[in-house]
Amino acid sequence: MQTGKVYLIGAGPGDPELMTLKAVRALGEADIVLVDDLVNRAVLAHVRPGARIIEVGKRGGCQSTPQAFIHLQMIQAAHAGHCVARLKGGDPFMFGRGGEEIEALRAAGIAVEVVSGVTAGIAAPATLGIPVTHRDWAPGVTFVTGHTRDGNSVNWAALAAARTTLVIYMGVKNLPEIVAQLLAAGMPATTPAAAVQSGTLGMQREVKATLTTLQAAMHAADIGSPAILVIGAVASLAAIDTFTEAAVKAA
């Protein structure tokens, strides 16, 4: 039997209308769909009748499907001649382990096509009117994880010196350390900051604060994971009220 194919598909940040037309087409071709936990299940309406859907959940702080098992599922299905859709939230190459998966598939001789998706690091701030770059305030943007695989800290001092907008994925748990290191590197305490939980979805929560009030503001607004954190001057453009120190204490 001829070896099948795998699509690594980005489902977008949550709102099913933000998934691309190419992703819709690829889903409609798939015999087997391996879907991550953070994917909005509404997008599965584009899966063809009779296709098999396999849950391979991955969510921070929860028990997750081993990555090796996901690789094996894709490889076995493709070798059996199936068209496989690996469906991920956001973009498969933006903190989605798409790089690991494409390496495993290529090593197994499997044809792979990447279908890019809208990443939450752009879409979630955009719901508040935050542009991650701005000609006057932010000459660039740095997308960074707040939780590394090996536990080693990101070089926050270097990022602070770069003066770009910081968009932090998976940073809620380590926010106190991140803030402390940015302050130690000379970033002003009054630097605008924002957090968006479940961005683009109906249950979205958001808050605008400063670098030093962000954690307390998030706690007061009951914001946890999954959330995107934005630190930099552009966060001041968020179309919501700023959480002041007084408001934090009152909450």
Helix (H), strand (E) counts: the chain: 8, 10
Per-residue CA distances from 138 to 18, 126, 156 (Å): 25, 15, 17
Give the span between the Cα atoms of 246 and 249, in whole angstroms: 5
Which of 19, 74, 94, 170 is the catalytic position? 170
Amino acid identity of residue 152, one-letter, is N
Annotation marks residue 173 as catalytic:
no
Which of 58, 88, 187, 208 is the catalytic position? 58
Annotation marks residue 19 as catalytic:
no
Which of 5, 36, 187, 218 is the catalytic position? 36
Contacting residues for 68 by C-beta, under 8 A, at least 6 apart = none
Crossing angle of helices 67-79 and 98-107, in 10° steps, is 40
Annotation marks residue 22 as catalytic:
no
Instruction: Annotate 103-120 with b (16+ C-beta within 10 A) or e (fewer).
Output: ebbeebebebebbbbbbb
Q: Could you give the dihedral angle defined by the CA atoms of residues 27, 29, 31 and 35, in that order, rounded to the nearest 10 degrees?
A: -10
Q: Is the Cα torsion angle 71, 72, 77, 79 positive or negative in sign?
A: positive
Residues with catalytic function? 36, 58, 170
